[in-house]
Structure 1
């Protein structure tokens, strides 16, 4: 059976909750193993319709297949927004379930969504608080792990989807609330906050020089730190110091981590315009905006800070482009807004 035909059958079964879904799912998974990226691309829009329209317990399985296809070469861009929109709805319903459970039980933790399953007892516990929405909320709670995995794949591999999201702060806040119950949603939240096409002003306090850089796909400030070092150290008009080896820079951009996962060290402290430390565990979106621009100030390291090489999100390529250098005399209007480092 052709992949598109099989996808159409399983989507129709999922939407109407036909029992044939349980037989079609292993067939689809087996057929997917031999499918080419072109075949998956052709069938993916129909599969995404199933993710969007099927009940959460079945749509979650279709979301898993969608993520697997993307990891195997299918193009996420045409379907990514639909997947993310459905995850938003499922997350909201799952949170409603969690709130109802705690209200019904006097604050007891909800069922473990990865270890337990829907049941009549679970339904009866929350039904007085959720009414007609009980089934959807309960199914969303237990399907959220599947949707979260798919969502992380989509957001890592589709910068156009990330860039096209509206109300990202709200989506990230909601994902963070779900992260209190499911760790994978903390990764999803971090991906929602990834900046693409974002300009930073980087200032070196010692030389009073600066650079405008444009970043994209950076998952945390460990990665930002290394890519700044690769972009600024040893280049004409740049900074002196030990530039990371090319293979180290590459694995923070889009390459595999070298064997043994080398340990590297930070050449600077990164500080924001208010003198506060930019912690490596944070993300570029945490950096405050001053006069419409996020500002990073380079200071000597206060201690030797080491970490293993590699990207937090291995499927997400990163970019950093130096747009221009600014001499000290070009930055006279900026430095009055820059506070000395605190602590």
Structure 2
């Protein structure tokens, strides 16, 4: 590693210079050094990112609101290159909460000042600043950057399980009015905040009257869950149907890329409502403390690109045990008859 360091840690030098400029409130020099950090990022050594990420994250509160989101994205990039997400995440989530508050205020003021088509976050101009105020406009305009940085943190199970459930709930509660008022889904942020870890799941295969206790972690959407269910249950020889190939299953766990697959089931709630593939495992209702899912035959052939909604997030679905007929019957008693 010593011979690969090109003599000097120039990326960390730029980070140190940026820290000093921010703390001296030298805006011009801060901007210049931020550009220098970005230029040197591509050639930085792997040993530099674990130091740079937490240092930049700790500096966020001292950076002015507009450029702050740009620094947050850089922190996320450092995490993707090896910085400890647990050290960086608290600062990122604090900034995300502030941006969501500003974005909510943007939506409110936009409506109060005449409404009309709301500008996309990357199209906020001077007129929008004058109309709704700087803080609100910055919150709305930088929200995609905070989304990007936050997803980089939430890719890591240690962050997802380390964030108190009430904090994730508060972030979701802050996001929803922005989604509703603006018409922008911010789907990546929304899905990432909903990811479940070490979550028990009971799956009932109605055609065979069999039941399965599983555990899921890091699954970003129900397309991914659907494929992993088919791999585990059909591929494992438990139920009939289309078994995904090894590659189809691998890209839903930790392999890169996407490959075509075909659906094996219709995912249904105990009440008989469809659980859409476009949704997340959090859509599956909790019954007696466990998420309960019914697997019915597919009403028609469906296909999609198998893969992970979050390419940086490892997904897993584990079969813990096959339920005996009596236990399966007790769970099926919670379910409405098939349509």
TM above 0.5, yes or no, is yes
Secondary structure of the 1:19 match is helix
Structure 2 residue corresponding to 1:277, chosen from 260, 274, 277: 274
Q: State the Cα distance separating 1:32 from its structure 2 match.
A: 1.7
**Residue 158, structure 1, aligned to residue 156, structure 2:** yes
Q: Which digits, 9 at most, give the CA deviation of each residue in 1:177-207, with x for residues without a partner? A: 3345484722111110111111101111132
**Residue 109, structure 1, aligned to residue 117, structure 2:** yes
Q: Which digits, 9 at most, give the CA deviation of each residue in 1:281-306, with x for residues without a partner? A: 11110111111111111111111111
- Runs of 4+ displaced beyond 6 Å: none
Secondary structure of the 1:58 match is helix
Q: State the Cα distance separating 1:244 from its structure 2 match.
A: 0.6
TM-score, length basis structure 2: 0.88
Moved more, 93-102 or 214-223: 93-102
Q: For structure 2, which runs of at least 5 residues remain unmatched after alignment?
A: 1-8
Q: For residue 8 of structure 1, what is the aligned residue in structure 2?
A: 16
Tell me how far apart the structure 2 counterparts of residues 136 and 49 of structure 1 sit (CA, whole Å).
Answer: 21
Contact 1:202 1:211 in 2 (8 A): yes
Secondary structure of the 1:337 match is coil
Tell me how far apart the structure 1 counterparts of residues 71 and 264 of structure 2 sit (CA, whole Å).
Answer: 45
Q: For residue 192 of structure 2, what is the aligned residue in structure 1?
A: 191
**Residue 243, structure 1, aligned to residue 248, structure 2:** no
Moved more, 327-336 or 186-195: 327-336
Alignment of 1:109-258 (within 5 A): 109-117=117-125, 119=126, 121-126=127-132, 134-155=133-154, 157-165=155-163, 166-167=165-166, 168-179=168-179, 181=182, 183=184, 185-235=186-236, 238-257=238-257
Contact 1:179 1:186 in 2 (8 A): no
Tell me how far apart the structure 2 counterparts of residues 169 and 294 of structure 1 sit (CA, whole Å).
Answer: 18
**Residue 77, structure 1, aligned to residue 86, structure 2:** yes
Q: State the Cα distance separating 1:279 from its structure 2 match.
A: 1.2
Q: State the Cα distance separating 1:47 from its structure 2 match.
A: 0.4
**Residue 28, structure 1, aligned to residue 27, structure 2:** no
Shift in CA distance, 292/20, structure 1 to aligned 2, threshold 3 Å: same
Tell me how far apart the structure 2 counterparts of residues 225 and 123 of structure 1 sit (CA, whole Å).
Answer: 45
Tell me how far apart the structure 2 counterparts of residues 182 and 145 of structure 1 sit (CA, whole Å).
Answer: 14
Contact 2:242 2:263 in 1 (8 A): no
TM-score, length basis structure 1: 0.87
Q: State the Cα distance separating 1:278 from its structure 2 match.
A: 1.2
Secondary structure of the 1:199 match is strand
Moved more, 244-253 or 17-26: 17-26
Secondary structure of the 1:114 match is helix
Tell me how far apart the structure 1 counterparts of residues 21 and 136 of structure 2 sit (CA, whole Å).
Answer: 21
Tell me how far apart the structure 2 counterparts of residues 26 and 202 of structure 1 sit (CA, whole Å).
Answer: 51
Q: State the Cα distance separating 1:211 from its structure 2 match.
A: 1.2
Moved more, 172-181 or 191-200: 172-181
Q: For structure 1, which runs of at least 5 residues remain unmatched after alignment?
A: 127-133
Tell me how far apart the structure 1 counterparts of residues 98 and 124 of structure 2 sit (CA, whole Å).
Answer: 21
Contact 1:172 1:190 in 2 (8 A): no
Tell me how far apart the structure 1 counterparts of residues 175 and 44 of structure 2 sit (CA, whole Å).
Answer: 33
Q: State the Cα distance separating 1:228 from its structure 2 match.
A: 0.6
Tell me how far apart the structure 2 counterparts of residues 53 and 109 of structure 1 sit (CA, whole Å).
Answer: 34
Q: For residue 314 of structure 2, what is the aligned residue in structure 1?
A: 317
Q: For residue 130 of structure 1, what is the aligned residue in structure 2?
A: none
Contact 1:94 1:141 in 2 (8 A): yes
Q: State the Cα distance separating 1:310 from its structure 2 match.
A: 1.9
Tell me how far apart the structure 2 counterparts of residues 199 and 338 of structure 1 sit (CA, whole Å).
Answer: 18
Tell me how far apart the structure 2 counterparts of residues 84 and 30 of structure 1 sit (CA, whole Å).
Answer: 26
Alignment coverage as a number of residue pairs: 327
Q: State the Cα distance separating 1:335 from its structure 2 match.
A: 2.2
**Residue 63, structure 1, aligned to residue 72, structure 2:** yes
